[in-house]
Structure 1
Amino acid sequence: MTTTFILVRHAAHDRLGQFLAGRTTDVSLGEAGRKQAERLAAQLAREGVASIYTSPRKRTNETAGAIAAAAGLGQVTRAEALDEVDFGAWSGKTFETLHSDSLWRQWNSMRSRVRAPGGETMSDVQRRVTQFVETLAKDHDGRKIALVSHADVIKALVCHVLGLSLDAWPRFEIAPASVSAVAASGGDMKLLMLNREVPEHDETAHLLTARR
């Protein structure tokens, strides 16, 4: 049977695009982000999600909590494998500061080979999220599972599914509160949907069927 993974990027926080939140623990959703999470939750409530797993970060937990409440699911499971990239010394720095760092520029041009200072490589990230999905596929055969995570983590998994180099990360977008989907069956995975954003005024369509 096929297990469907609904890959959700957390909704927006107030300083999105201004600094590298990374594993900073106290980054909450902003007002706009909470509205995004509510719209997303209203649509996912109709998708028959059986379980929700989330990164340990506050912004992902808030997004996952909204989905769980709308779907009538009482439990959200935190998973280290879905955590944000460990950016090490870069976490919490503004992008203005980071752009003057030569290693940061190398990271963004060769993510397949560069390690964040005191942190992870994108290969590390891809390995942990892929192994997690493969394990869940065996444990939740035939179900729909929501994974609430971060843009780069979702991109790492998508690159694996499509057989792309990790350096292909700029070729597609994973927007805040967007939904992507992957189907896993018999050890194989395929991409069903990429970066579907929830419309502000249309809450009638099913996310996984709207584009078929």
Structure 2
Amino acid sequence: MTVTIFLVRHAAHDNVGSFLAGRMEGVVLGEAGRAQAERLGQRMKREDIEAIYTSPRERTRETAAAIAAACNLGLPQIADALDEVNFGDWTGKTFDILNQDRQWRRWNSVRSLSRTPGGESMLDVQHRVLGLIETLLTNSGGKRLALVSHGDVLKAAVCHVLGLPIDAWPRFDIAPASITTITVGDWGAKIITLNEMSP
């Protein structure tokens, strides 16, 4: 049996790129992000999705809800394994401040050997998201699933499918409101589309 999984990054919140939102509460989609999510939902209507799983963060739940509404599906299921990276003490800091932090610079150079302060490593992130995918392949019964998560989480999954080390994360983009499609079967897994943007 072949299963198609749509890895969807949440639509943009108003301050994306200015600070590290991480697992902060109250980071929601603004007007532009809601419009992105609606376009994403319209794009996903043609994919015959059977179920949607989402990170517990507000911005991912809002994005998943827009897809579910467009596809006439029930409420998305929250999956902690899709949660944003636990950035620990870095959460909420601006990138101007973070760029002065030697540990932050190391994190962005050698993530395979780094851990966020009070948080987790990218290998931890990869382990949890792949564990969820394995569970869904075994137990969901669905053949076309959407997983709504965050850029770094989805990059960790893509690196695994492509056989790349986790430190290869800067070599490709996972933009807000993008879709990356993978298929998985007894023969393995492959990427069908990467970072597809809705019109």
Partner-residue secondary structure (3-state), 2:113 = coil
Where do 4+ consecutive residues of structure 1 move more than 3 Å?
Answer: none
Q: Does 1:144 align with 2:144?
A: yes
Partner-residue secondary structure (3-state), 2:47 = coil
Instruction: Give 1:206's aligned residue.
Output: none
Instruction: Give 1:182's aligned residue.
Output: 182
Partner-residue secondary structure (3-state), 2:46 = coil
**What pairs with 1:17-166 in structure 2 (closer than 5 Å)?**
17-141=17-141, 143-166=143-166
**Contact 1:137 1:185 (C-alpha < 8 Å) held by counterparts:** no
Deviation of 1:191 after TM superposition, in Å, equals 1.1
Deviation of 1:190 after TM superposition, in Å, equals 1.2
Q: Does 1:13 align with 2:13?
A: yes
**Contact 2:112 2:121 (C-alpha < 8 Å) held by counterparts:** yes
Q: Distance in 1 between matches of 2:15 and 2:66?
A: 21
**Contact 2:51 2:142 (C-alpha < 8 Å) held by counterparts:** no
Q: Distance in 2 between matches of 1:52 and 1:11?
A: 15
Q: Distance in 1 between matches of 2:187 and 2:125?
A: 20
Deviation of 1:39 after TM superposition, in Å, equals 0.4
**Contact 1:2 1:142 (C-alpha < 8 Å) held by counterparts:** no
Alignment TM-score, normalising by the size of structure 2: 0.98
Q: Distance in 2 between matches of 1:142 and 1:153?
A: 22
Deviation of 1:109 after TM superposition, in Å, equals 0.1
Deviation of 1:25 after TM superposition, in Å, equals 1.7
Deviation of 1:142 after TM superposition, in Å, equals 5.7
Residue by residue over 1:113-150, the C-alpha shift from the partner in whole angstroms, topping out at 9 and shown as x without a partner, is 10000000000000000111011012235610000000
Instruction: Give 1:196's aligned residue.
Output: 196
Structure 1: 5+ residue stretches without partners = 200-212
Alignment TM-score, normalising by the size of structure 1: 0.92
**Contact 1:7 1:180 (C-alpha < 8 Å) held by counterparts:** yes
Equivalent pairs, count:
199
Residue by residue over 1:147-202, the C-alpha shift from the partner in whole angstroms, topping out at 9 and shown as x without a partner, is 00000000000000111011100000000000001111127221111000011xxx
Q: Distance in 1 between matches of 2:141 and 2:162?
A: 21
Pick the structure with more helix per residue. 2
Q: Distance in 2 between matches of 1:141 and 1:171?
A: 33
Deviation of 1:11 after TM superposition, in Å, equals 0.2
Deviation of 1:63 after TM superposition, in Å, equals 0.1
**Contact 1:2 1:141 (C-alpha < 8 Å) held by counterparts:** no
Q: Distance in 1 between matches of 2:116 and 2:142?
A: 37
Partner-residue secondary structure (3-state), 1:4 = strand
Q: Distance in 1 between matches of 2:175 and 2:23?
A: 18
Q: Distance in 2 between matches of 1:140 and 1:74?
A: 15
Q: Distance in 1 between matches of 2:101 and 2:187?
A: 40
